Amino acid sequence: MIYFDNGATTFPKPKGVAVAVNNVLQKYGANPGRSGHNLSLKSAEIMYECRKNLADFFKVSSPENVIFTSNCTSALNTVIKGVLKPGDHAVISSLEHNAVVRPLEELKNNGVKYTVAEYVPYDDEATINNFRNAMNERTRLVVCTHASNVFGFKLPVERIGALCRLHGVLFCVDAAQTAGVTELPLDDTSIDYLCMSGHKGLYGPMGTGALIINSDVLPKSLIQGGTGSMSYQKSQPEVLPDMYESGTPNLPGIAGLNEGIKFINRCGIKNIERHEMRLAQMLYDNLNAMNNIELYTQRPNSKTSVPVISFNIKDEDSEDVAAELNRFGIAVRAGLHCAPLAHESFGTIDRGTVRAVMSAFNNDSNVRMFVYTLNRMISSKKRNQKG
Ligand code: PLP
């Protein structure tokens, strides 16, 4: 199988990830932070190591500000529902995933309003203006994806962050598609909350994610319960990271995520980005040279995009194309990719798009086979139409 569905979750994972998960299950997997015996201490040590590696990776000084979550969705829910109060207003981009839109729709029932700022492709100035115009005196939070999971566009998060600082507004970035794919150091930005999946570009197992709090404003904790700390206290501890991490953590996942980060550090994130971008460009150039293919972006490059290619075959439903590619052993995702706003903006809401996303484990021959298969599919359809 050729796997280009890395935008949903990366596959395969580095070998070290599987070994680390297995070690937890077979060798030392006790409950971390709950007991004083050696196995529990070893578990707590691995959990801390992963927290520290994530903090270093994103250049935050305090590992305690790294909160483990079960995915990017739960991190985003923590920020959106933990920060916004009745009467507050939020601004989001027109490329947001339902992980942002749906919590905000839910909060409408509690008197929270939000405005969508239109993303303008390849025009940061116009995009920033739209964010500026969408803000009002009640705006408390801006939530913005770092890169579109449908079209790969990178948003100017540094500039949006600066705008938020100027207006005293909190800024949350959804790094689901960029964490581990392109650099985003938090020591040099105005990002207050960074939400990410652990199972995509960071190469951890599914069921992992993180929220990095880079602000003194702590979102209200949505879950209360045992943390293994301050157990004499009936109320939820208000210290990081315990405040947000009640209940037994996903240690197998976290140990795997730790190895995923080490893998990226060994390869070098810039090398991974270069490799994936080269493959994305190769795919784009080939698709662009084909007659019946509709593309929605300019040729991707690291300044404007992440290695995500969305396309359609003329007059065909994206789900049908993906199903046929699957029959030829190629895994892609089709449809709306949980981001209807993005499709509304680009006129693809009716049939969605076919999406191919690269990972460090893809290579040139995967792309060549993909293009060859697509060409065959198109020409056999033409033959059938003639016949
Ligand atoms: N945000 C974006 C931009 C995404 O692409 C995704 C998943 O594809 C999510 C949020 C949700 O991530 P998760 O599946 O880790 O909850």
Ligand 1 pocket: which of 197, 343, 357, 359 to mutate (most atoms within 8 A of CB) = 197
How many whole angstroms separate alpha carbon 259 and alpha carbon 261?
Answer: 5
What atom in ligand 1 is closest to the CA of residue 199?
15
**Which residue, judged by its Cα, is nearest atom 6 of ligand 1?**
176
Q: Are 123 and 159 in contact (CB under 8 A)?
A: no
The dihedral through the CA atoms of 297, 120, 145, 343 has a sign that is negative
Which are the contacts of 372, defined by CB distance < 8 A and separation ≥ 6? Answer: none
- Give the model's pLDDT for residue 380: 85
**Which residue, judged by its Cα, is nearest atom 8 of ligand 1?**
8
- Give the model's pLDDT for residue 267: 98
- Amino acid identity for residue 228 in this structure: G
End-to-end CA distance of the chain: 31
- Give the model's pLDDT for residue 387: 61
Q: Are 352 and 337 in contact (CB under 8 A)?
A: yes
- Amino acid identity for residue 224 in this structure: Q
CA of 338 to the centre of ligand 1 (A): 8
CA of 112 to the centre of ligand 1 (A): 23
CA of 42 to the centre of ligand 1 (A): 31
- Give the model's pLDDT for residue 384: 75
Nearest to 272 by CA among 182, 203, 145: 182
| β-pairing verdict for 193-197 and 170-174 | parallel
Tell me the sheet residues that pair with 154: 147
Reduced to 3 states, what is the DSSP secondary structure of residue 261? helix
Reduced to 3 states, what is the DSSP secondary structure of residue 306? coil
CA of 150 to the centre of ligand 1 (A): 11
CA of 177 to the centre of ligand 1 (A): 7
Phi first, then psi: what are they for 141, rounded to 5°?
-145, 135
Low-confidence ranges of the chain (pLDDT < 70): 383, 386-387
What atom in ligand 1 is closest to the CA of residue 95?
3
Which are the contacts of 244, defined by CB distance < 8 A and separation ≥ 6? Answer: 67, 69, 78, 211, 221, 223
Nearest to 132 by CA among 105, 166, 109, 104: 166
Task: Give the number of other Cβ atoms within 10 Å of residue 165's Cβ.
Answer: 13
Q: Which residues line ligand 1 (CB under 6 A)?
A: 8, 71-73, 97, 99, 145, 149, 174, 176-177, 197, 209
- Give the model's pLDDT for residue 360: 98
Give the DSSP letter of residue 5. B
Burial class of 98 by CB neighbour count within 10 A (0 to 12, 13 to 18, 19+): middle
